[in-house]
Structure 1
């Protein structure tokens, strides 16, 4: 019985040892080089740089639509892909951005339209989803929304 166990153990040991040699022979140098390049590029990300991170519309009348343009540049080492741009509410609408990859060093832009709703100091964030290292970037718009002058005059007349 001991001889059978020793013989089977030896057979398994030889089998496992010979498998390692076969695996090493199957590895191709071209695959190793391609993996090294892939791994080196995996650490390179696009960097989204804006001409401005915040735009102030100043004083505007209530319900007066205004818009601004945010320009950006890919300052990274990989192509930039913006997959989505959303605002924190429906009163602010981002539009007109390119869904095509933006090569390093190239620039793009998008427009943000604000419908003038709210009262007093209003701040809205616009969130950009992209393939940057963080995954999201943001810009802001601000405005001081004054009451509609026609509504104020109507209210004054109603009080009299």
Structure 2
């Protein structure tokens, strides 16, 4: 896939961003398109951080994800979603895709606890010395620390499929050999949506108590509104919503549940993908779990 195709596919995902950010994304895509990822000579993979396994990184396609030590570990990992999507990809690709997980955790004990809690049995490389990043100098934005590679380790696409369903679709299309073309939005059914609020404060509460809130969406356009997907910035936040098309003038609710993993101040993001010109929409929840 050439640079022009990558830009056509990715820039629409950031139409809500400022002009400077769009230019930065274009520059980033230009740098990484067809770039070869370099791997350290000696790689040790293990299951749950204790059982070393013989794991080859060779494959027709590879999905490489790198996670550093900055920020919330569970927010970045989202291992439950990875497990579900890995099964989907294996079914679609007949096992031609190799998943490569490289983690460089500052708090190794906390990281291993997360692997065991999520029952994540896929081999991972715990890169304590951060060698993979030192060889490649990955972008600092975690959005661009996941890559689809070919058999020669060259970058075919960049972006985190777990955090963005459009990137997920892009990866699958490339793996399945489908022709990639720039989307023509005029061919899509587009409507309008209003939301009662863009952020919710849950206040202070006992961190062991589950918290619930809601956002109300109204279809203010003249075509049915379809919620295509909802993603969250952390596994501690879940969202329930109707997948049925919402008719013009109708309203629906996004039911949000937050379950803290520990006492903390939190500020989480919910990203809503739907058939509107301003999609994706960003919602926020915040509070103090004590």
Return the TM-score normalized by structure 2. 0.34
Q: Higher helix proportion, which one?
A: 1
Residues 79 and 103 in structure 1, CA contact (< 8 A), matched pair in contact too = yes
Count of aligned pairs: 105
Correspondence for 2:207: 62
Cα distance in structure 1, aligned partners of 2:199 and 2:265 = 14
1:48 aligns with 2:193: yes
**Counterparts in 2 of 1:140 and 1:118: CA distance versus 1, 3 Å:** farther
CA shift digits 1:62-85 (9 cap, x unpaired): 232101111110112221100111
Question: Whole-Å Cα distance in 1 between the matches of residues 271 and 217 of structure 2?
Answer: 14
* 8 Å contact from structure 2 (residues 230, 273) kept in 1: yes
Per the TM alignment, residue 45 of structure 1 is displaced from its structure 2 partner at its CA by 2.7
Q: Which residue of the other structure, out of 99, 112, 126, is the alignment partner of 2:243? A: 99
**1:79 correspondence with 2:236:** no
Secondary structure at 2:191 match in 1? coil
Q: Does 1:90 align with 2:235?
A: yes
Q: What are structure 2's unaligned runs of at least 5 residues? A: 1-185
Alignment of 1:108-127 (within 5 A): 108-127=252-271
Which 5+ residue runs of structure 1 have no aligned equivalent?
Answer: 1-40, 147-160
Describe the superposition over 1:21-63 as per-residue Cα deviations: whole angstroms up to 9, x where unpaired: xxxxxxxxxxxxxxxxxxxx86973222111111111001223
Higher CA-based Rg: 1
How far is the alpha carbon of 1:105 from its aligned partner? 1.1
**Aligned position for 1:142:** 286
RMSD: 1.9
For residues 44 and 101 of structure 1, what CA distance do their matches in structure 2 show? 12
Q: Which has the higher strand share?
A: 1
CA deviation map 1:106-138 (0-9, x unaligned):
101121100023544211111111111133112
> Structure 1 pair 65/43, CA: closer, same or farther in 2 (3 Å)?
closer
Distance (Å, rounded) in 2 between the aligned partners of 1:45 and 1:138: 18
TM-score, normalised to structure 1, is 0.59
Higher relative contact order (CA 8 A, sep 6+): 1
